[in-house]
Amino acid sequence: MMRLVLLRHAAAEAARPGLPDIDRALTPRGRDEALDAARCIAAARLRIEWLVVSPALRARQTATLAAGELNISEPAHIESALYPGKPDELLQSLRLCPPGVGTVLMIGHNPGLSELAQRLHRGQPPIELRTAGLCCIEFDRRASWAGLRPELATRVTLLR
């Protein structure tokens, strides 16, 4: 079975003059949120096989904390399309995942992640991922990453 786990990056420092948005780091609360999200993934018994992450510092830090908590040895794949990440770009990045990968963890940003979750859920009920918000999307057994389409999603579960 194919699964996509969407994780919005954890809480980051506020924007400030002179600091590019891509360089905003996690706050102490954000570090705790990232670890809590990883524990939710573990509690759901999801074994992450592929990790795709936005190049933004806050997303990479979220990924590092989650990977450490989940003992993910596979290196994160940094994808520029995830920053800021429109739903079509996110979907295209997923289509590049290797065949045979069962569960992918994608760490990125809103509004793109929530819009992708909403598209895969086909609109009902609305999904809005908060910081470190987490959802799992399961796909029909006929699905492949290369041929991923919203109509192949069979179940969306909010985990956090």
Residues 99-143: tens digit of each pLDDT: 999 999 999 999 999 999 999 988 677 889 999 999 999 999 999
| Backbone φ/ψ region at 9: left (φ over 0), alpha (ψ -120 to 50), beta | beta
51's enclosing H/E stretch is: strand 50-53
User: Domains in the chain and their CATH numbers?
Assistant: 3-11+21-158 (3.40.50.1240)
What does 134-158 look like in DSSP terms, one character per residue?
EEEEEE-TT--STT--GGGEEEEEE
Q: Between the CA of residue 41 and those of 17, 35, 127, 147, what are the distances in Å?
A: 35, 10, 18, 25
Q: What is the pLDDT along the chain (160 residues), one digit of tens a residue?
A: 899 999 999 999 999 999 999 999 999 999 999 999 999 999 999 999 999 999 999 999 999 999 999 999 889 999 999 999 999 999 999 999 999 999 999 999 999 999 999 999 886 778 899 999 999 999 999 999 999 999 999 999 999 9
Q: Is the pTM of this model over 0.85?
A: yes
β-bridge pairing 77-78 and 3-8: unpaired
Output the pLDDT for position 102: 96
Residue 126: the pLDDT is: 82
Position 125 scores a pLDDT of 77
pLDDT at 66: 98
